[in-house]
A and B are shown apart, each in its own frame.
Chain A
């Protein structure tokens, strides 16, 4: 991934870009809002990593200006402010996702992955397919190998979320936000239990397992183990 990182905290920027480079991404760094906006307008980036509070030009203003000139590079806003209401503001300004500091590198990369993929795959597609697992969002129907699978409403939403992010790592936080719209950590293994129930429903009677746990990060729905 080709990433533009705009962050005025030089040390944090250094650690983050090192971490991202170690994972095989290209990272360009800018340290204030104006320089960030200029770079974003001139370069071709897969994703924009933008701090919320930047000198010279605020992070939110950078996104607004970019969106104003038709630049829709996926943007993840990083913020040291509490995300309770800040998050809404960030998304309203045109940001695609929001992550509060301090964050886990795994969480950040999973979200970057989701953002860049989202652009390609049509998120409006009603018929989702992974190997022999099929989901019809409109008819609310799930089949595997042609066999109908009964799911509760929430299990269905969970599966739909995972299928829209197929072959990507999704974190527990992403699931909480995407499926339940919960923006806090419930501190229990509730998500794991929901996932294992879903796994029971879709993987139990089949040899190829689709729903995998990614250690230290979250889950992935994929035909490859």
Chain B
């Protein structure tokens, strides 16, 4: 099981692959060398025999039969070629001289090569020697066989084969080790990058990815990524600044208008004036509420608010207790204690308050239940009512700004509640789902847990 898991890691895969590729290359190179060398040795041996045969053919022409037989006898006793064999047959096919007796059995036609085995006479063992030989017709019925031992060639082959195996195994081993080292280096860099990226994704745009400093391709990639981050940081900062100055400006205007209206209300002399000014004040308040809502959404979406570890269970329990008295049916709460997440307490509280408020409002007096449980590495919060719910095709639409569901015109609200929840969910890297609670609507929020 451990091995399977190990092989699944990219480091191990790269290491094994690296080793295998190197070993394959080694096999290809060494096989080439092996085949070429083998051929070279074989040619050299055959050439030696051909030359010896040529020499002896010459001698046969120059000597008489007896002297030639003596030459062969000498050669057979003390071969010029290492491991050489000789056999001379007379015109009647009779054995005249030599250190092997094979010619009559072989029936090899003159000019042809042959291979055979002979018993090793040097040792007492029953080992045999592999011989490669050529037969020549000397003329006048004389046939001569000259050959030599290819044992050396075989021994060479064996040594060569062993060397190849060892070389390949060593290459495989060093290849795996080298690959492991290489992959680990890359993987460490990748891990450093990904953990930095994760922190950056959480909103810390001032962080930069670490450079190794050796100016390789990874460094180039990292520095380009850092440039990209700087650009995003600048854009976000600019956006936030625009947001802040717009907010500041609009609030300043609203404040002056409200001051003027308040002033007018203090100086109002008739009931008509009073009611007119009151209407203006109400509208200003509504406008500033909407502005406030939009700014909160923009703030959450800018991702520039600092997050800290907060106890989601405590926040939820407090909200349940807060809303309990206004619920016509008691709220049903099932809250797993001490689920901590990285979040912005105020924005998170406001978003959950909106969710609870919606459930109480749209649930129309039905039972509202709040469930907070741990699901793997997430805190799963579900707020459901038994009201009319939202049709599946309208759920995404409902998350947008200023969307109000049909039939909600009699209820208070600005149409920003659910969009704030969606924006706050994004800020917290949480998944927001609107589901059918059969009947009613279930709002599910899945937030990554924070461990410290």
**Residues of A that sit less than 8 Å from B by CB:** 9, 11-12, 14-16, 18-19, 22, 53, 80-82, 84-85, 100-105, 154, 180, 182-190, 193-194, 197
Q: Counting CB contacts under 8 A, is B204 at the interface?
A: no
Task: Find A15's partner among B252, B262, B288, B412 (CB 8 Å cutoff).
Answer: B262
B266 contacts across to A, CB distance below 8 A: 18-19, 22
Q: Are B326 and A80 in contact (CB under 8 A)?
A: no
Given A81-B244, A186-B357; A101-B305 close (CB under 8 Å): no
Q: Are A185 and B289 in contact (CB under 8 A)?
A: yes
Over the window 316-351 of chain B, the binary record of Cβ atoms lying under 8 Å from chain A Cβ atoms (1 yes, 0 no) is: 001001110110000000000000000010110110
Q: Counting CB contacts under 8 A, is B131 at the interface?
A: no
Nearest-neighbour CB distance to chain A for B403, whole angstroms, equals 17
Over the window 262-293 of chain B, the binary record of Cβ atoms lying under 8 Å from chain A Cβ atoms (1 yes, 0 no) is: 11001000000000000000001100110010
Task: Find B346's partner among A12, A80, A84, A194 (CB 8 Å cutoff).
Answer: A84
A190 to B263, CA, bound (A): 30
Nearest-neighbour CB distance to chain A for B119, whole angstroms, equals 101
Stretch from B61-69, B72-80, B137-145, B253-261 contacting the other chain: B253-261
Q: Counting CB contacts under 8 A, is B388 at the interface?
A: no
Q: Are A102 and B288 in contact (CB under 8 A)?
A: yes
A101 contacts across to B, CB distance below 8 A: 251-252, 254-255
Chain B, Cβ-Cβ closest to A186: B353
Q: Are A12 and B325 in contact (CB under 8 A)?
A: no
Q: Counting CB contacts under 8 A, is B295 at the interface?
A: yes
Chain B, Cβ-Cβ closest to A101: B255
Q: Are A84 and B306 in contact (CB under 8 A)?
A: no
Contact count band on B: 35 or more
A189 to B325, CA, bound (A): 10
List 13 contacting pairs A-B, 8 Å CB cutoff, sorted by A.
A12-B255, A19-B259, A19-B262, A81-B251, A154-B321, A180-B322, A184-B350, A186-B353, A187-B412, A188-B360, A189-B326, A190-B323, A197-B325
Interface centre among B254, B257, B262, B266 (most CB of A within 10 A): B262
Given A16-B259, A102-B254; A184-B346 close (CB under 8 Å): yes
A188 to B358, CA, bound (A): 11
Given A19-B266, A84-B305, A187-B413; A103-B357 close (CB under 8 Å): no
A104 to B353, CA, bound (A): 24
Q: Counting CB contacts under 8 A, is B247 at the interface?
A: yes
Given A84-B305, A184-B353, A187-B357; A100-B251 close (CB under 8 Å): yes
Chain A, Cβ-Cβ closest to B306: A85
Nearest-neighbour CB distance to chain A for B416, whole angstroms, equals 11
Q: Counting CB contacts under 8 A, is B309 at the interface?
A: no
Q: Are B259 and A80 in contact (CB under 8 A)?
A: no
A100 contacts across to B, CB distance below 8 A: 251
Nearest-neighbour CB distance to chain A for B236, whole angstroms, equals 16
Over the window 406-431 of chain B, the binary record of Cβ atoms lying under 8 Å from chain A Cβ atoms (1 yes, 0 no) is: 00000011000000000000000000
Q: Are B295 and A82 in contact (CB under 8 A)?
A: yes
Task: Find B247's partner among A9, A81, A180, A190 (CB 8 Å cutoff).
Answer: A81
Q: Are A105 and B262 in contact (CB under 8 A)?
A: yes
Q: A15-B260, A19-B266 are in contact. List 5 more A-B contacts (CB 8 A).
A: A82-B299, A84-B296, A182-B349, A182-B350, A188-B412
A187 contacts across to B, CB distance below 8 A: 357, 412-413
A62 to B387, CA, bound (A): 53
Q: Are B259 and A15 in contact (CB under 8 A)?
A: yes
Q: Are A102 and B258 in contact (CB under 8 A)?
A: yes
Q: Are A190 and B322 in contact (CB under 8 A)?
A: yes
Q: Are A102 and B321 in contact (CB under 8 A)?
A: no
A106 to B261, CA, bound (A): 14
A103 to B284, CA, bound (A): 11
Over the window 347-377 of chain B, the binary record of Cβ atoms lying under 8 Å from chain A Cβ atoms (1 yes, 0 no) is: 1011001000100100000000000000000
Over the window 190-231 of chain B, the binary record of Cβ atoms lying under 8 Å from chain A Cβ atoms (1 yes, 0 no) is: 000000000000000000000000000000000000000000
B305 contacts across to A, CB distance below 8 A: 84-85
A84 contacts across to B, CB distance below 8 A: 296, 299, 305, 344, 346-347
B413 contacts across to A, CB distance below 8 A: 187
Q: Counting CB contacts under 8 A, is B39 at the interface?
A: no
Q: Counting CB contacts under 8 A, is B248 at the interface?
A: yes
A157 to B128, CA, bound (A): 108
A174 to B231, CA, bound (A): 42
Given A12-B255, A12-B256, A101-B255; A53-B306 close (CB under 8 Å): no
B284 contacts across to A, CB distance below 8 A: 102
Given A53-B248, A81-B247, A82-B247; A188-B255 close (CB under 8 Å): no
Q: Are A182 and B353 in contact (CB under 8 A)?
A: yes
B292 contacts across to A, CB distance below 8 A: 82
Given A15-B263, A194-B325; A80-B248 close (CB under 8 Å): yes
Nearest-neighbour CB distance to chain B for A151, whole angstroms, equals 13
A192 to B289, CA, bound (A): 20
Given A80-B252, A182-B349, A184-B350; A193-B326 close (CB under 8 Å): yes
A183 to B285, CA, bound (A): 17
A197 to B322, CA, bound (A): 12
Chain A, Cβ-Cβ closest to B289: A185
Task: Find B263's partner among A19, A80, A85, A189 (CB 8 Å cutoff).
Answer: A19
A102 to B305, CA, bound (A): 23
Chain B, Cβ-Cβ closest to A189: B326
A101 to B288, CA, bound (A): 9
B244 contacts across to A, CB distance below 8 A: 81-82
